[in-house]
Chains A and B, each alone.
Chain A
Amino acid sequence: MALLILLGVPLFAAAVLAFVGDRKVAPEINILGSAATFIAGIWLAFEVYVRGPMLSGGKSFFVDEFNVYLAVLTSFVSMTTAVFSRRYMRREREHGRVGHVGMRFYHAMFQLFIFAMLLCLLTNNVGILWIAMELATLSTVLLVSLYRTPTAIEAAWKYFILCGVGIAQALFGTVLLYFAAEKVLGEGGDALLWTNLSRVSGSLEPTVLSLAFVFLMVGYGTKVGLVPLHNWLPDAHSEGPTPISAVLSGLLLNIALYALVRCKALVDGSTHTHHAGDIMMGFGLLSIIVAAFSLLRQKDVKRMFSYSSIEHMGIATFAFGLGGPIATYGALLHMLVHSLAKSSIFFTVGHASQMHWSQEMDRIKGLIKGNPLVGWGLMFGVMAIVGMPPFGVFTSEFLILTATIKDAPLWTPLLLLGLGVAFAALFRKVQPMVSGDVPSYQKPMKVAHLPVMLHMALVLVIGIYMPDFLNQWFHKAVALLR
């Protein structure tokens, strides 16, 4: 029931918004819809907390400890983003960067995007998962090119082509999966259901699965933004409207990683080797290093933070690849806190760039004096993202690093290098933006307080006092994934 609402609301809202278009009420409807989604998400979470994993809608939907928290996270961040985008997009509209078609389009697609992601999370079917993933891509492609500037179109094009190609690989992987599964489960729809696959994963054909994993890895890895498949990510983030950047790196990457991890669980169950894990560790580490060094030379603020998203996805991927109770726990936690912190950073960055009408970091100055919320928000957001306690990111990185030096000590120097460089780079860039005196061309403006505060508060709370139900879910998910 909750599940149907959770999926239905965004779809419905999308339809409504498509009709409402660029009226004054559209943002409020948007907020309302995502709020409803969020409430449904809470409800679902509660049900799962009480009753444990559950199938519903025939066998086509499946909720367990792994995806429920991601579902809640998705609905929550989409809600706050909607709140944020109300002010932000209005200002963009006033400034004439988007027309009314664009606005109509923006709101409708936003909700559609949320729906796609929730479908990814909740479906029990590998095929549907793939479809929803593609849907998520397609629904955001045109949002990236919303501003119609040459660079925006270029970015959107790259996003479209690269993700399309990637996703195609994923489909091939899925086909192979089915190919292997039907031997065991017989033909027909049941052969693609998680619940069945994970049940029989032991008896699936290892060679086929390891083959399939390569394609799934490349496919979903492209959407996770792992090096060297990441090239679409910085462009799309820097050129699209900020709310979209927020949800892209806050949510979409998580979803893709979620799909990848599910597949890994299957493959491990079949092959009984650490092969898949090794591949993921390799990708993760490469992403961390490359992203860290790319951070050093950024000029555009949103671009920089998109690189940091790559880095953090790399960390999570690495940790999942590493496996083991501590690392997996850390990775799950990392997905959560990263998306909270990163989206709040994008909120502040969006306001900052509107205050200066530029995304060039050389022009953004004196934020703390200019607008304390934006300034301190950005400062603390960055401290959170680089893994300074008492924010939650530190906790997850702490677990991951310690687990690494225990299980894979030879990897640690590289990891250390990556984290150190990323830290230095981010601080070096952000410090001048927040500190110093207010430049003449900075315009004061009203900002959306709630989202930033809410996110930072949550990250902080998770850092110093993690609620027990989350802990239990993580433990169950860990048990699920090993």
Chain B
Amino acid sequence: MNLHLAAQIISFLAALVLLTAFGMLVQRRMYGLIHLFAWQGLFLSISTALVGFVAGKHHLYISSLLTLTLKVALLPYILHILVQRLRIHKEIETVVNVPTTMLIGIALVIFSYHLTAPVREISTLVTRSILAVALASVMIGLLMMITRKHAVTQIIGFLAMENGLFFAATSATYGMPLVVELGVALDVLIAAFIFGIFFFHIHTTFDSLDVEQMARLKEGD
């Protein structure tokens, strides 16, 4: 399996990641969101493994495994449980309407492509073009957090950003040092627990996970 082919597959996977990111941006149903997130994780881990294979970085396999367990299995599961526990499988209304969001997302993709152009010039890696996708999905994740007003969706957006970062870390640069990646994974894990706890707190105090109502702390006149 030659380098060129691998590179093509990887970029195809990148495209898929981007696609799932967009999917999350527009998805209205909670379960759909979670599934999309899981899919993204899957693509991520595959591409990580592939990069590891191509570049002969065996520690990347570990991180791909981590991704698999964390972002494909564990987190979606936790979210699933939460959603069931807290009985929130209603339609999620967005702040901005969908087409606008889409347009902004596309603009972001173009922007990040333009942004990473100089970097692409200087890099010699096969996977250099992935940086643009990673940045784009980070941005889209952020955009998603902005446009959604539900705690869970915000968290999913957050995790999507995380995915983008991870994508950049593993694929774009043939992987950060292992310590770093383990640490990142650990942080994500802790974060997962914390937001898990949070959902319950929020739900018990506000008896809904709508973040709109958490706007009491402000500089009121």
> Direct contact between A and B in the complex (CB less than 8 angstroms)?
yes
A interface residues with partner B (beta carbon < 8 Å): 125, 127-128, 130-131, 134-135, 138, 141-142, 145, 148-151, 153-158, 160-161, 164-165, 168-169, 171-172, 174-176, 178-179, 182-183, 187-189, 191-192, 205, 207-208, 211, 234-235, 238-239, 294, 297
Beta-carbon contact of B177 and A297 below 8 Å: no
Question: Considering only CB atoms, which chain B residue lies closest to A193 in the complex?
Answer: B177
Pick from B151, B158, B217: contact of A235, CB under 8 Å: B217
Beta-carbon contact of A127 and B179 below 8 Å: yes
Within 8 Å of chain A (Cβ to Cβ): is B206? yes
Q: Mark B129-146, 1 if CB is under 8 A from A, else 0.
A: 001001100100010010
Docked Cα-Cα span, A174 to B176, in Å, equals 10
Beta-carbon contact of A131 and B187 below 8 Å: yes
Question: Considering only CB atoms, which chain B residue lies closest to A145 in the complex?
Answer: B201
Beta-carbon contact of A134 and B177 below 8 Å: no
Pick from B142, B179, B194: contact of A165, CB under 8 Å: B142
Told that A149-B205, A179-B173 touch, could you supply 18 new A-B pairs with CB distance under 8 A?
Answer: A138-B187, A148-B205, A150-B205, A150-B216, A153-B201, A154-B217, A157-B151, A169-B138, A172-B164, A175-B165, A182-B173, A182-B174, A191-B177, A192-B177, A192-B180, A205-B122, A211-B119, A294-B219
Docked Cα-Cα span, A294 to B174, in Å, equals 46
Interface size on B, residues (CB 8 A): 49
A128 surroundings in chain B (CB, below 8 A): 179-180, 183
Beta-carbon contact of A176 and B138 below 8 Å: no
Docked Cα-Cα span, A145 to B204, in Å, equals 13
B122 surroundings in chain A (CB, below 8 A): 183, 205, 207-208
For chain B, residues 152 to 202, give those with C-beta under 8 angstroms from any C-beta of chain A.
154, 158, 161-162, 164-165, 168-169, 172-174, 176-180, 183-184, 186-187, 190-191, 194-195, 197-198, 201-202
Within 8 Å of chain A (Cβ to Cβ): is B8? no
Docked Cα-Cα span, A158 to B214, in Å, equals 9
Beta-carbon contact of A175 and B168 below 8 Å: yes
Which of A158, A164, A211 has most chain B Cβ within 10 Å?
A164
Beta-carbon contact of B190 and A178 below 8 Å: no
Beta-carbon contact of A134 and B187 below 8 Å: yes
Question: Considering only CB atoms, which chain A residue lies closest to B221 in the complex?
Answer: A297
Closest 5 CB pairs of A and B: A127-B180, A131-B183, A189-B177, A154-B214, A207-B118
Report B50 CB to chain A, min CB distance, Å: 17
Report B24 CB to chain A, min CB distance, Å: 16
Docked Cα-Cα span, A281 to B152, in Å, equals 37
Docked Cα-Cα span, A481 to B21, in Å, equals 40
A165 surroundings in chain B (CB, below 8 A): 142, 145, 158, 161
Report A46 CB to chain B, min CB distance, Å: 29
Beta-carbon contact of A160 and B194 below 8 Å: yes
Within 8 Å of chain A (Cβ to Cβ): is B211? yes
Question: Considering only CB atoms, which chain B residue lies closest to A207 in the complex?
Answer: B118
Within 8 Å of chain A (Cβ to Cβ): is B106? no
Docked Cα-Cα span, A19 to B194, in Å, equals 20
Docked Cα-Cα span, A297 to B219, in Å, equals 8
Question: Considering only CB atoms, which chain A residue lies closest to B173 in the complex?
Answer: A179
Beta-carbon contact of B217 and A179 below 8 Å: no
B162 surroundings in chain A (CB, below 8 A): 168
Within 8 Å of chain A (Cβ to Cβ): is B69? no
For chain B, residues 113 to 134, give those with C-beta under 8 angstroms from any C-beta of chain A.
115, 118-119, 122-123, 131, 134
State the main secondary structure of chain B at its contact with A. helix
A238 surroundings in chain B (CB, below 8 A): 217
Which of B115, B119, B174, B178 has most chain A Cβ within 10 Å?
B119
Beta-carbon contact of A141 and B216 below 8 Å: no
Docked Cα-Cα span, A282 to B201, in Å, equals 38
Beta-carbon contact of A172 and B118 below 8 Å: no
Q: What are 19 of the A-B contact pairs (CB < 8 Å)?
A: A127-B177, A134-B191, A141-B194, A145-B201, A149-B205, A153-B214, A156-B198, A157-B202, A161-B154, A171-B169, A172-B135, A175-B169, A175-B172, A179-B123, A179-B173, A183-B122, A191-B177, A211-B119, A239-B217
B178 surroundings in chain A (CB, below 8 A): 189
Report A480 CB to chain B, min CB distance, Å: 24
Docked Cα-Cα span, A142 to B194, in Å, equals 8
Question: Considering only CB atoms, which chain A residue lies closest to B118 in the complex?
Answer: A207
Docked Cα-Cα span, A176 to B183, in Å, equals 18
Report A210 CB to chain B, min CB distance, Å: 10
Pick from B142, B154, B184: contact of A171, CB under 8 Å: B184
Beta-carbon contact of A135 and B202 below 8 Å: no
Which of A125, A142, A175, A297 has most chain B Cβ within 10 Å?
A175
Beta-carbon contact of A172 and B216 below 8 Å: no
B205 surroundings in chain A (CB, below 8 A): 148-150, 153
Docked Cα-Cα span, A469 to B202, in Å, equals 50
Beta-carbon contact of A135 and B173 below 8 Å: no
Report B75 CB to chain A, min CB distance, Å: 14
Beta-carbon contact of B158 and A188 below 8 Å: no
Beta-carbon contact of A150 and B138 below 8 Å: no
B135 surroundings in chain A (CB, below 8 A): 172
Docked Cα-Cα span, A142 to B190, in Å, equals 12
Docked Cα-Cα span, A142 to B198, in Å, equals 9
Beta-carbon contact of A160 and B195 below 8 Å: yes
Beta-carbon contact of A168 and B168 below 8 Å: no
Report B46 CB to chain A, min CB distance, Å: 20
A141 surroundings in chain B (CB, below 8 A): 194
Docked Cα-Cα span, A127 to B176, in Å, equals 8
Docked Cα-Cα span, A239 to B158, in Å, equals 24
A169 surroundings in chain B (CB, below 8 A): 138
Report A180 CB to chain B, min CB distance, Å: 8
Docked Cα-Cα span, A238 to B115, in Å, equals 39
Beta-carbon contact of A168 and B179 below 8 Å: no
Pick from B123, B176, B184: contact of A178, CB under 8 Å: B176
A164 surroundings in chain B (CB, below 8 A): 158, 191
Docked Cα-Cα span, A134 to B182, in Å, equals 13
Report A193 CB to chain B, min CB distance, Å: 10
B176 surroundings in chain A (CB, below 8 A): 127, 174-175, 178, 192
Question: Considering only CB atoms, which chain B residue lies closest to A171 in the complex?
Answer: B165
